[in-house]
Structure 1
Amino acid sequence: MTETFLTGDEESIDEQGLIADAREDVCILHIEDDQSFSELVATFLQRERDYFTVKTENDPQGGLSRLEEDDVDCVISDYDMPGMNGLDVLKRVREKHPDMPFILFTGKGSEEIASEAISKGVTEYLQKGGGTEQYEVLANRIEQAVARNRAEKQVTRGFQAIEAAHDGISLLDEDGQFIYVNEAYADITGYDREELLGKHWDLLYPENELDRVNKEMLPEARADEWKGRTIYTRKDGDPVKVNHRLAYTEDDTLICTIADIPEAEGIREELSLKERAMDEAPIGIVITDPSQEDNPIIYANDGFVALTGYSRDEVIGQNCRLLQGEETREEQKAEMREAIDDAEPVTVELRNYRNNGELFWNRVSIAPLLGENEELDYFVGFQQDVTERRAVQERNEEWIQTIQELGGVLAHDVQTPLDVIRGRLELARDTGDVEHLEDAEAALDRVEVLTEDLAEVMQTGELVNEKTSVDVSRLVRHIWRTLDVGDASLEVDTDIPEVYADEKALRRMCENLLGNSLEHGEEDVTVHVGRLDEEPGFYVEDDGPGIPQEDREDVFMPGFTTKEDGTGFGMVSVAQIVAAHGWQIRIRDGIDGGTRFEIFATTM
């Protein structure tokens, strides 16, 4: 059982809201002197959260050095370690990283240690348990601690951004009194911050503006938002015209933002700066004019020219659909048309064409630009080449599908020796004959070898790795001795040529073929393995019930089985291994109407 002690005011934080912020890469430093346990923790944590990266240090001093070298999001530490215990590590970490999430994960638990850890600023205290559920608890605590830390950093950055903003920002309570003003707000109004805090907003308005504030501005702000221009009276008595925006929060706090209206020269400089920034932007930007026929492009930046291969002269006056073509799907085009008709923002990814006809994936974001009267003036479009990202995404999806299929197939391959173990143990229990235990032990050894083989397959994603010359006759006889064959018999020709293959994969293939004959044949089924005469290769045939002609095309399809408790993966495994070697397989009639599988190739 895992015991946890919470050290923060978790009830005041929306955990679910914060967890989303942690679902990016999280780097975890685990300081644990037991190497085998630390490896186990890393495996389980990374299985629980695929975005976790666990870096392990078995020496506390090495862990502290690693913390300074790597970009770490959370530290996990054992308590009882040679040279430096977990609380010493915590003290050293807090000296340089006072806000770093730190979890004491120890098997030596006591209220005294927990109390001391909390007093020294530990984020979480968890006592190691005996089951795997402790790793899920640990993963959750890491996720929550990192999310909380990131959220607090975001709040701090947000407040710093407000403080550094060029626009004036203030907050007023429900009575209309200032409870916060930033430096820019104080500068525009000419007051010190302390002079505004606790004062009513009417301090800043001339008498003739008060009626407008009460009857127009505040009611519209309470309904949704008010924005426009107002005139403030500065502390020195001079009027100042500002662009003004008002809105209420759910708790009735009034948010007020103002921006001093610059002189014409300042406006021109600002526009020039914005245009230069747009031209230098690493993405394509266009502005279109919906008041003109067909909503033509009136501005295109350098990024759009580089992205599409069109010159500015070629695109000015054209509609953006000049990038569309045969591979541009109607669904995305319709979504953009609907958003433009409704003057709503939209983002889609679609296939577009460059000037030279080259296809590329384009991420297009369109937003309406509204004038002072909330009338639609223009549309701005941002375009980004995401071809490489889409290709990576498609490869990842294909890889995931491949691994899923491999998982089902490889799980089936382990089943045969497991069935042998169960059968031999049952016989040993019923008869008391220890020879059955020896057979079960041999099958267990086979499971261990097979597990290592399958782990290699899953890691590499390849069914076939190192190839050598393999004696098929010897391999088949060896496999037969590991199977629960009962009264079945095996005949193996001695002239089968050696094949160039991955012996581990070939063994799994032959186990499935022999197991198929044993599974579907009578108790005294005869299996014959021999050499093909027409082309290089060999066959596995039996005198069982055979496979009907109409079912032969489906035999190698995932899920096809003629048994109620069958998985349908045995023959899929055979087909995959055959294909991975570049061979071919066909089904013909075997002994007395049984089944014959022929594996062949141009060269083997």
Structure 2
Amino acid sequence: MSDGADDRVDRESVVSSGPTRIRVLHVDDEPSLGETAALWLEKTSEHLSVVTETSAPEALDRLAEEPIDCIVSDYDMPGMNGLEFLEAVRESDPDLPFILFTGKGSEEIASEAISAGVTDYLQKEVGTDQYTVLANRIERAVGEQRTADALEESERVLSTLMSNLPGMVYRCRNEPDWPMEFVSDGSLDISGYSKEALTAGAITYAEDVIHPDDRQEVWDAVQAAIEEGVPYKLEYRIETKQGDIRWVWEQGRAVDTADDGTAVLEGVVTDITEQKEREGQLRQAKQRYRRVVEQDLFGIYIIRNGVIEYINPKAASIFGYTPEELTDGMTAFDIVAEADHDRLRENIRRREQGDVGQLQYELTGVRKDGSRFDFEVHSGVIEYEGEPALLGALVDITDRKERERELEQYETMIETVGDGVYVADEDLEFVTVNDAMTDLTGYDRDRLVGSSATLVLSDADVEHALAVRDELRTTDRDVGSLDINLQTADGESRPCEVRFRILTDDDGTYRGTAGVVRDITERRQYERELERQNERLDEFASVVSHDLRGPLTVARERTELLHETGEDLHYRKARSAFDRMDDLIEDVLELARQGRVVEETEPVAIESVAREVWSTIRTGESTLSVSTDASVVADRNRLYSLFENLLRNAVEHGSTSPDSQARQDAVEHGATGSENSESSGDGVTVTVGLTTGSRPSTPDGAKADPAGFYVADDGPGIPPDERDRVFEASYSTTEEGTGFGLDIVETIADAHGWSVSVSESDGGGARFTVSGVDIVAPDETDG
């Protein structure tokens, strides 16, 4: 049986072997199906004329009454099925093309059909494309049968011609005796010896037929021609069985090589005395072959030295010329695009140098009106009027090339789409996928195609997809969409959006879906982040509305009292309320800024940042100790802000001296000073270092353990029942504090993907630990 690729044949070259119309008998017990098939077949091909019958017996009656070129039959029919019908047809016409066109397909039926002598077997499908395939199969089957009939007739003519030639055709081994493997009947007329006598070896052509005086000269001439790779043409004398001396003309050449390396010769020997009779017979044979060649089977040409010596009407019509125009001095280069001249010139050169193999190649032709088209060439070498020439057949493949280009463009578009593209049948099995789909799932194309969608979907997603599909099939909507979690080959669950269409054939029968699958991982992350930039906004709004209400009320009341009394105390209290509102607003803005996800990071030395921050805040009698020279991979500005809030918190809440409130007031308002030298008193000692078990990465490139750093003090610490609340916005243990400092610390940590916690330090104070940090060895930092 042929496959789909074989159906792409040039229609003109197939159906042109006989009448322009092909009469088709279509047999199907469903009248509507038969009529529909007839209409589509005649619409698909102008060469087809279709008549229909609804049963095999009726079809046999019609077959007996009128000529039919091809039968197309269903298999499953009452009374007499398709195979029984085929057997009945074969009894009367063994060669009539018979195509089994059935909706009931199986290997068993196909095997039985082949055994019964079916020409072709095609299973019914949904859609009108099947009629294009069926039309091609019909035209090809009829064309091949007509070609076979023509070849049989040609062989009969050739056999008759060989029998009538006044000469002897032979095949022999190139040995001194020239032992004959085949001799035609003409040997009796030429030599008086029968072909059986010559092939049996009792009589040798060299010793018993060739005249003794000419034997060496004939041998030498044949050997020289074989060595040069050219045909030999000889005239010499022979002695007949009756003792007569005759002159003969022989032409032959080496055509093969035996297993032992001996050349095999084929040739013809004719009696020169009957030359005129022989020439008449050759002219007759030439005319017969010309009639065969000039039928519209194929485009045929003969080219010698680049000049068109002969071209049949079929080939001439392809180029838009008459045969007379093309053979009036035109060359092959006149009808081939200039871009293909080098290829054409190379092929002609190869032929002229004795390359006798078959060549098949494509060229761009130029018609008489200047338009261009694609054609395919099959060529070989012949001897034409005593010189080597190219004999070839050509086929117009413009339509085929255009279809190939369109398919290539379609495939290119599908493959360049960044999203996964698929086609699935009604059973949810993948029929087609693009490269992006394989990248998305992690499965290669061979694994996906033919597999069920359940390979990449959970049971819940399959149920959801079927529900959306079924809903779409009952509505007028063109496109359905759903979100799924694609299950990849490596076990990942990847969020994706699927947009798909329902596929149907012409009668509306559901045939599957075609869709686009888009990875929405980043979109989901963005949505989660947006939901979190929203939660923060709600939190900010709540904090601002709550915390600003108190100082705003104080400011309003003190302003009214100041207006009434003019006392300076009310001015100071109002000013303090305004300052607190300013601090609240600044901290809220800082919190909003620090909440953005960190995108660019670099190694930043912990000690450098900690000491730089320490130098900018009012530290009083407190001291700083940094026990590491490692670096942390972070956004430098945000890391600075994190240390600024942690160190201020340690100084403000860790000191127990009477003036700590004054220092706290200064810190809350961003005051700076130089009291940052290491000293003693009732200030606190603040320690910065790596968490226990942290291992910095080494210069050889080994990655660091996800570790962290800490900021600890030896102050009063934070009670255990308060530790869960210290990171809440607006939480503060003093009236003057805004309560945003530690909330900012946690926000900065979250933006880096870190976590922050609070515990008791070794000195009994507070210890804030930042975890999940990439620690870098000193050699890798920028200092």
Please report the TM-score for the alignment, with normalisation by the length of structure 1.
0.42
| Larger Rg, first or second structure (1 or 2) | 2
Please report the TM-score for the alignment, with normalisation by the length of structure 2.
0.34
